[in-house]
Structure formats: C-alpha cells, structure tokens
Amino acid sequence: MAGMYGRVALVTGSSRGVGRGIALRLAAEGAAVAVNYRRGADAAAEVVAEIVAAGGHAKAYAAAIDDQAAVDAMVDAVNADLGPVDLLVSNAGTASRGQTVAETPGADFLSLLQVHALGPIHLIQRVLPGMRAAGRGDVVMISSSTVSEAPENSAPYTMAKAAMEMCVRTLAREERAHGIRANIVAPGLVETDMGRRLVRAATGGGAIEDIAGSYPFGRVCTPADIGGAVAFLASADAEYVTGQRITVDGGGRSITVV
C-alpha cells in the first residue's frame, strides 16, 4: 500500500473507539490527522500524543458534528494548521434509545438524522473545495451492517445511516470528474465501549469475550480492522474504487446484537 505522506485526514469522533483506530492507522500511513471530538479532550489529546510519539503529525479539534458553526470553525482551523482536508472519514455518531417505531418521539428521528446525515453532509460541503483542488480526495463514511438488517428497536439509527449511505453513493457519481472517491465501510459488532454496552443490553449483562468464539474467526471486529479498510479505500491501490459499500463483519455474524 502506497503511503499517504502529504495528505490531510479529518476523522470525526476519533478520540476513542473506531475513530481512534482509523486515526492511528492513517497517521501510520503518513497522513497528518485532525482528531475530532465532541467531549473528552483528554482522550483526544492521548490519541494525538500517541501519533506524535510514533513520528506522525496530528492535532485535536473540538466540534459537535450537528453544530454547523462549530464544524465551520473546525474546518477553518484544520485548514490553517494542517492544510486543506483531502481525506474525510465521517465516523462520529450516537446510538438510538432502543425503542420501537411506535414509541419513538419524532424529535429522536430528527436528532439522529442531524448527527448521522445532515451534519456530515454540511462537513462534506465545507471540505469539497479543497478536495477538488487537490486532485485526489476521499470521503469514507462509517456506517453499520445493521442498516441492511433493519433489526427491531433501531429505526432512528438505521434510517439516519441509510440516508447518509445514499448521499455518499450519489456523491461518488457527482464528484468523479474532480478526482474524488466516496465509499462506505459498514462494520458489524466492534470491540469498543459502545460494542460492549450493546452486548450487555442484548445478553442481559454478558461480555464480548463470552460471545467472541461464536463469531467468524473466533473474535469480533476491532477498530484496527476498520482502520485497515479505510486505509485501503484511501490508498493508491483503491484508485478505481468509488461508490462502494464494504461490510467488515468477518463474512457474517453468528448472533444478532442490536
């Protein structure tokens, strides 16, 4: 895989979990990384410190993705500090409350749509000019395998993710003339704090370690697995890959955790 030296990556929600794994991998490939976080400045600082200690370049930026003014200020700061973003990974998000469609307030649907779709779309609009000028740009959306499964009690989350997936697929067609690729990575259950909470809720207090053996390859997905998929999509090896959805779940889950 060719290196990413000279590229500027912005990874939303990268102070922990999947975003952290992606940020570390892109930095290891040579990209300068903007580590975005909503809360948890200390966690973001730790990611930056780990990247710098390994010889990379990174800086942390606070912004809630559903706050357009904060996103605008973040993009301006990244442009000034690191340069124009030519690799955007839209990862930040939040889970729904686990209610049925009948029980879910309309405000919850709107809230998750703002976080998972409308906010990221505004961010994409802000960075597109720099990507077009760079000659090669990449937008990678982190979605979820649950979007295609449509499990019970998940509609606000899966609907918002599905909306953003359609936007990314459309963007891939619209921006080909500008050298921009747009792709989707859809993980299954990932070994993160959120993943552990999902397992506890679905199993009545169980742990990921208790179910790992029933999953493909004897383990659940890790943030490093997602980082590898993103790094491939943004590499020269994936120069002819756009508008695609890559599911990273080991080939299919053995049990359902929503």
Active site residues: 157
d(CA 225, CA 229): 7
Report the side by side order of strands in the sheet with 245-248. 58-62, 32-37, 8-11, 87-90, 137-142, 180-187, 245-248
Question: CB-based contacts of 159: which residues, under 8 Å, 6+ apart?
Answer: 109, 112, 113
Cβ count within 10 A of residue 11: 33
The three-class DSSP label of residue 26 is: helix
Burial class (CB in 10 A: 0-12, 13-18, 19+), 6: exposed
**What does DSSP assign to residue 216?**
G
- Residue reference for tokens 């390859």: 217
